A and B are shown apart, each in its own frame.
Chain A
Amino acid sequence: MKADPSSGSPVAVPGEPKAAGPLDAGTWHRLHPLSPVIRAGRVLIGLAAVGAGTVLPGGQEGRVGIIGRLPFLGIVIVFGVISWLVTRWRIEDGDLRIETGVIRRQSLRFPLTQIQAIDIVRPALARVIGLSELRLRMGSSAGGAGRLAYLRASEADSVRAQLLALSRGSSQLPAQDPVPVSERVLTSVPLGRLIGSILTSGIAIVVLVLLLALLIAEVVVPAAVVPIISSSGAIGIGLLTVLWRRLNGGYKLTVAETPDGLRLWSGLLDTSAETIPSGRIQAVQMVEPLLWRPLGWVRLEVDVAGRHRREGENAPEGRQLRAVLPVGTREEANRLLGHILPDAPSERSPAPTSARLKSPLRYHNLSWGRNQRYAVTTTGRLARVTSWIPLGKVQSLRLVQGPLQRRLRLATIHLDTAGRSLHSAIRDRDSDEARQVLQELTGLARAARHADGAVHKPEGVPLQLPYMGWSWASRR
C-alpha cells in the first residue's frame, strides 16, 4: 500500500462531505447520513409485504406478527447507522478506496483504470430524499462491485465524472462544476411499444397461460382455486417482479453518446444512469424473437465484462445483458449499432446446406461474416440472434467438432469473450473452411489487439495450424 502524503490521520473524522466539493485526492469522505434510512426502508417495505400477508387471514394474529417484527426493524436501523459510521471512501493514487465493516474490517481498492462502467442508481425512496448510489463495475469476474450508497445526487454526478476522467488516465481532476457535456441522444423508447414488447415476451405468455389455467380451474373445480393462489403466490409475485423490472428497466430508456462513452438512462420509480466507457463493450447482440418479427421489432443488447449481480437480483437476471434498445425497429437498431460499432461488417455467408441435417431449426438463421475489426454471426432456433464481436476482445477461439458434425464434415468455431453471458459461435461451417477461418480469425484478432494498443509488438507470424510440432500430452 502506498503512503498517501496529503491525508491527515485516517482516524480523524472529517465532517460532512462538501456537497459537490472538490474531490482532492486523499481526503476521506463519508456517505450521506440518511443512507441507513434508505436501506432500512427496503426492509420496511419487505416487512410490510410480509405483514400484509399475515394480516389478511385474521385480525389479532396479524397485529402480533407486525409488532413481533418491529424489533427487527430497530436492529436493522442500528446496524445501518453503525455501518454508516465505519464506512468512508477516498480517491488515492488512481484507486478508489472504500473502508467499511466493524467485525470484519474491509479495505477495498478499486483500480480506476480497470473500471468497465459506472452506474448511478436511484431507488424510489432515495429519489424522494435526493440521493443516489454510485456503482463501479470492474473487469474482474469475482471481486465485489464498488458501491457508494448513498451520495447526494449532485455529488454522485461529479464523482462519477471525476472517476471516469481518472479511469481514462488524465491525472488531474476535471473542472469542478460538471460542465454539461455534449450529449447526442441516439434513441429513446416509446412507452406503448415497451408495454407491447413486454406483453409479447416469453414471461408474459407464461403468465397468461397460468392465468388461463387458473380460469379453467375456477370453472372445473372452484374449491381448488384459493389453495392454488395461496400456494403459488410466491411464484406469481416472482413473475410479476420480473415483468415489473423489465418495465422499469426499459421505461424511458434513453441512450446518448458522450465523450465518456455511451450513457443510458432509464427507470420509472427506481432510476438508473449507466455509463459504458467506449472500448469496453465485449459484444453486441441483436435479438429478433419470433413473436416480434411481424411487428418488425428487435432488441439490441451489449455485453460488458464483469457485469455484477445487483442487489435483489437473482442469478439469471444478473447474467442478463444490458439492453441498450429494449425494443425498437430494425432501422433504429442499425443506427444505434452504427454508433456503438462503427463499420460493422454487413455481408454474411450462409451455412453449407449439409448443416440442415445437423441443426434443422437453426439452419435458415445460420450465417457469419467478418471484416478487419469485427466478426458477426447469426444463429437461433426461434428467435434470430445476431452477435457482433470486436476481434480485439476475443479471449480465445475454439474449434469443436462433434460426431455428427464429423460425419457431415462440419465444425463450429466458438469465440470466447470476457463478457458475462453472450456466447457467440460460428456454427456448422464446412470443416475445411472452419480450419481456415480459425487461422484467419486468430491473425485478425492479433492484429486487432495490436490496433487497440493493447500489445506493443506490431507483427506476428500468421497462424498455420501445425500438423507437426504437437507435443502429445501423455505419450508415455
Chain B
Amino acid sequence: MRRVEVAASTGVAAFLVLVFIAVGALAGMRGVVQAGMLMLVGVLAAGFLADRFAQRRVRAWAYCEHDDDLLVQRGVMISRLSVVPYGRMQFIDVIAGPIERAFGLATVRMHTAAAASEARIPGLSQDEAARLRDHLAELGEAKAAGL
C-alpha cells in the first residue's frame, strides 16, 4: 500500500525531472540537461530507498486477535504495540481511499473512549477487513464495558 504511494510519488518526481531535461534540451542548454540527469538519478535512488523503508514498515505491521484483546504491532524505528480490549472498542471504521480501492485494500481502525488509543490496521484485503470489522464488533458487543 505505502509502496504504491512511494512508487507514485517517485514516478511524478521523475516525470517532472524529465520535463525539466526536455525543456533544457529544447533550449539547447547542455548544463541544464546534465543537472537534470543527475537529479533523475537522485530521485530514482531516493524513491528506491523510500520504497525499501516502506516495505520494512509494512512488513512490521501486524495484528493478533487474542482472547480478550486485540494486539496491533507496528513501526520499525519506533516500535509500538497496542493492546486494546474488545470491551473498550466504541466503534470500528473501515476506510478505503482511492488508491487502496484500486488495489482492493482497506484499513480497519478501532476507536476507544481514549483519544490516545491507536489501533489501525492498513492494507487488509477488503474481505478480510469486513470479516475483522464484523468479528470485532461482535466481540465488542459481547464484552462491552462502561466508561
Interface range for B: 35 or more
Greatest chain A CB density within 10 A among B58, B81, B124, B147 is at: B147
Instruction: Confirm or deny: A330 has a beta carbon within 8 angstroms of a beta carbon on chain B.
Output: no
The answer on a CB contact under 8 Å between A414 and B81 is no
The answer on a CB contact under 8 Å between B78 and A395 is no
Considering the chains assembled together, what is the distance between the CA atoms of A471 and B123 in angstroms? 12
The answer on a CB contact under 8 Å between A470 and B78 is no
The answer on a CB contact under 8 Å between B83 and A398 is yes
Considering the chains assembled together, what is the distance between the CA atoms of A460 and B67 in angstroms? 7
Interface 1/0s, chain B 1-17, versus A by CB < 8 A?
A: 10000000000000000
Considering the chains assembled together, what is the distance between the CA atoms of A416 and B113 in angstroms? 9
The answer on a CB contact under 8 Å between A449 and B87 is yes
The answer on a CB contact under 8 Å between A449 and B85 is yes
Considering the chains assembled together, what is the distance between the CA atoms of A474 and B121 in angstroms? 9
Considering the chains assembled together, what is the distance between the CA atoms of A470 and B143 in angstroms? 22
The answer on a CB contact under 8 Å between B62 and A471 is yes
Min Cβ gap B15→A in Å is: 26
The answer on a CB contact under 8 Å between A472 and B69 is no
Min Cβ gap B113→A in Å is: 4
Instruction: Confirm or deny: A147 has a beta carbon within 8 angstroms of a beta carbon on chain B.
Output: no
Closest residue of chain A to B119 (Cβ to Cβ) is A396
Considering the chains assembled together, what is the distance between the CA atoms of A414 and B117 in angstroms? 9
Q: Which of A216-224, A366-374, A376-384, A401-409 binds B?
A: A401-409
Query: Interface size on A (CB < 8 Å)?
Result: 45
The answer on a CB contact under 8 Å between B62 and A473 is yes
Instruction: Confirm or deny: A40 has a beta carbon within 8 angstroms of a beta carbon on chain B.
Output: no
Which of B1, B69, B121, B147 interacts with A418 by CB under 8 Å? B147
The answer on a CB contact under 8 Å between B68 and A461 is yes
Min Cβ gap A47→B in Å is: 38
The answer on a CB contact under 8 Å between A438 and B115 is no
Instruction: Confirm or deny: A399 has a beta carbon within 8 angstroms of a beta carbon on chain B.
Output: yes
Min Cβ gap A463→B in Å is: 6
Question: B59 — which chain A residues lie within 8 A by C-beta?
Answer: 472, 474-475
The answer on a CB contact under 8 Å between B80 and A399 is yes
- Please judge, given known A-B contacts A414-B116, A470-B73, whether A455 and B143 are in contact too, CB under 8 Å: yes
Which of B65, B73, B112, B144 interacts with A395 by CB under 8 Å? B112
Question: A449 — which chain B residues lie within 8 A by C-beta?
Answer: 85, 87, 145
Instruction: Confirm or deny: A189 has a beta carbon within 8 angstroms of a beta carbon on chain B.
Output: no
Instruction: Confirm or deny: A446 has a beta carbon within 8 angstroms of a beta carbon on chain B.
Output: yes
Min Cβ gap B142→A in Å is: 8
- Please judge, given known A-B contacts A395-B88, A416-B117, whether A455 and B145 are in contact too, CB under 8 Å: yes
Instruction: Confirm or deny: B102 has a beta carbon within 8 angstroms of a beta carbon on chain A.
Output: no
The answer on a CB contact under 8 Å between B145 and A474 is no
Instruction: Confirm or deny: A55 has a beta carbon within 8 angstroms of a beta carbon on chain B.
Output: no
Considering the chains assembled together, what is the distance between the CA atoms of A399 and B118 in angstroms? 11
Min Cβ gap A65→B in Å is: 44
Instruction: Confirm or deny: A469 has a beta carbon within 8 angstroms of a beta carbon on chain B.
Output: yes
Considering the chains assembled together, what is the distance between the CA atoms of A157 and B122 in angstroms? 51
The answer on a CB contact under 8 Å between B62 and A395 is no
Considering the chains assembled together, what is the distance between the CA atoms of A446 and B83 in angstroms? 12
Which of A141, A280, A396, A461 interacts with B83 by CB under 8 Å? A396
Min Cβ gap B91→A in Å is: 12
Question: B144 — which chain A residues lie within 8 A by C-beta?
Answer: 455
Considering the chains assembled together, what is the distance between the CA atoms of A384 and B69 in angstroms? 33
Instruction: Confirm or deny: B26 has a beta carbon within 8 angstroms of a beta carbon on chain A.
Output: no
Interface residues of A in 322-376 (CB under 8 A from B): none
Interface residues of B in 82-108 (CB under 8 A from A): 82-85, 87-88
Instruction: Confirm or deny: A139 has a beta carbon within 8 angstroms of a beta carbon on chain B.
Output: yes
Min Cβ gap B81→A in Å is: 4
Interface 1/0s, chain B 49-79, versus A by CB < 8 A?
A: 0000000001101111111110101000111
The answer on a CB contact under 8 Å between B79 and A401 is yes
Closest residue of chain B to A400 (Cβ to Cβ) is B80
Instruction: Confirm or deny: B27 has a beta carbon within 8 angstroms of a beta carbon on chain A.
Output: no
The answer on a CB contact under 8 Å between B85 and A446 is yes
Interface residues of A in 447-476 (CB under 8 A from B): 449, 452, 454-455, 457, 460-461, 463, 465-466, 469-476
The answer on a CB contact under 8 Å between B78 and A474 is no
Which of A114, A442, A469 interacts with B64 by CB under 8 Å? A469
Question: A473 — which chain B residues lie within 8 A by C-beta?
Answer: 58, 61-63, 121-124
- 10 more A-B contacts (CB under 8 A) besides A398-B81, A403-B78, A455-B145? A395-B112, A395-B113, A396-B114, A398-B118, A442-B68, A452-B146, A470-B71, A473-B122, A474-B61, A474-B123
A and B contact pairs by CB, cutoff 8 A, 23 listed: A141-B115, A305-B113, A395-B84, A395-B85, A395-B88, A396-B84, A396-B119, A398-B116, A399-B83, A406-B79, A414-B116, A416-B112, A416-B117, A446-B68, A455-B145, A457-B142, A463-B66, A463-B68, A471-B62, A471-B63, A471-B64, A471-B65, A474-B58
The 8 A-B pairs with the shortest beta carbon distances in the complex, nearest first, are A454-B145, A418-B113, A474-B123, A395-B114, A416-B114, A396-B117, A473-B61, A470-B62
Name A's B-contacting residues (CB within 8 A).
114, 116, 139, 141, 280, 305, 393, 395-403, 406, 414, 416-419, 423, 438, 442, 445-446, 449, 452, 454-455, 457, 460-461, 463, 465-466, 469-476
Name B's A-contacting residues (CB within 8 A).
1, 58-59, 61-69, 71, 73, 77-85, 87-88, 112-119, 121-124, 142-147
